[in-house]
Amino acid sequence: MARVEIELVPLLQDNYAYLLLEPETGSSAVVDPGEAEPVLEALERRARRLDWILITHHHGDHVGGIGELKRRTGCKVVGPRSEFSRINGLDLTVAEGESVALGHAVAQVIETPGHTSGHIAYYFPENPALFAGDTLFALGCGRLFEDTPEAMWDSLSKLAALPPDTRVYCGHEYTLANARFALAIDPDNAKLVARARRIEELRERGEPTIPTTIGEELETNPFVRANSAAIRGQLGLREEPAAAVFAEVRRRKDNA
């Protein structure tokens, strides 16, 4: 198995698409192209064709570039089976436990319902790298539009169990606002305080805060840490199920 080379492609207001280049065969893919033009420019700069689009969920800011990219490059599109009827242009659908080959690189599909009911993430174990869409953000998680806190908690728990050195590539640059909220929920977390400072510096220079790692999120993300003594103590929820603590963190963020 091969690793993929990964390039961030900023687009729309605060979305990231990701260009994946497999060096052994020259295969390429783009994750969640919310619009086509920045992706076409990145391909041109790299002098690469486009073989695949990988889609995490049906929202317009993740699928908006599909039509034009298919017309201009002839690429094929993979996405979540249970959102088949909600995404135009899918050629192949995938579900939990299945994989997608990109040349000699392989992505495992992880179902992560919560933000949408059919949301999936793509995990490349050789890198290791995770394309988390709008499920797990740096210091945050997606809003619960189509599923329960229990479902989202299970999804986040699956992702949190990946190797700590897994690089996490998420759908949005929301990290600065997430850091401010995280500090309000988990103020005594020294690693979070230090990370928030680094994030402020990066954003002042206009640089991305992505990728993060699973290990960093385990230490500093208040949604992933909902079951920790620190967060439980801050919220006064010592006995409740972990999903209920998570639901309370999510509710506070929604109202922040």
Q: Does the annotation count 172 as an active-site position?
A: yes
Between 174 and 181, CB nearer to Fe ion: 174
Using CB atoms, what's the residue nearest to Zn ion? 59
- Footprint on this chain of Zn ion (rule: CB under 5 A): 59, 134
- The DSSP string of 75-110 is -EEEEEGGGGGGSTT-SEEE-TT-EEEETTEEEEEE
Q: Which does 149 bind (CB under 5 to 8 A by kind): Zn ion, Fe ion, none?
A: none
List phi, psi (to 5°) of 80. -70, 130
Between 80 and 171, CB nearer to Fe ion: 171
Q: Does the annotation count 61 as an active-site position?
A: yes
CB of 237 to Zn ion, least distance (A): 28
CB of 236 to Zn ion, least distance (A): 31
Q: How many CB atoms lie within 10 A of CB 162?
A: 21
CB of 61 to Fe ion, least distance (A): 5
Q: Which does 173 bind (CB under 5 to 8 A by kind): Fe ion, Zn ion, none?
A: none
Between 84 and 145, CB nearer to Fe ion: 145
Q: How many CB atoms lie within 10 A of CB 253?
A: 19
Identify which of 39, 5, 40, 1 has the alpha carbon closest to the alpha carbon of residue 20. 5
- Footprint on this chain of Fe ion (rule: CB under 5 A): 61, 134, 171
List phi, psi (to 5°) of 216. -65, -40
CB of 32 to Zn ion, least distance (A): 9
What are 202's two structure tokens?
Answer: 């990066």
Q: Which does 35 bind (CB under 5 to 8 A by kind): Fe ion, Zn ion, none?
A: none
Please answer whether residues 177 and 13 qualify as being in contact, where contact means their C-beta atoms are separated by less than 8 angstroms: no
Active site residue: 51, 58, 59, 119, which one?
59
Q: Which does 186 bind (CB under 5 to 8 A by kind): Zn ion, Fe ion, none?
A: none
CB of 242 to Fe ion, least distance (A): 25
Q: How far is CA 108 from CA 124, 129, 131, 154, 216, in A?
A: 6, 10, 10, 18, 22
Q: Is 248 left (phi over 0), alpha (psi -120 to 50) or beta?
A: alpha
Between 189 and 209, CB nearer to Fe ion: 209
Q: Does the annotation count 59 as an active-site position?
A: yes
Between 177 and 235, CB nearer to Fe ion: 177
Active site residue: 32, 51, 58, 61, which one?
61
Bridge partners (DSSP) listed for residue 52: 29, 76
Q: Does the annotation count 62 as an active-site position?
A: yes
Q: Does the annotation count 57 as an active-site position?
A: yes
Residues 6 or more apart whose CB falls under 8 angstroms from that of 104 comprise: 1, 2, 22, 24, 25
Q: Does the annotation count 165 as an active-site position?
A: no
Residues labelled as active-site residues? 57, 59, 61-62, 115, 134, 172
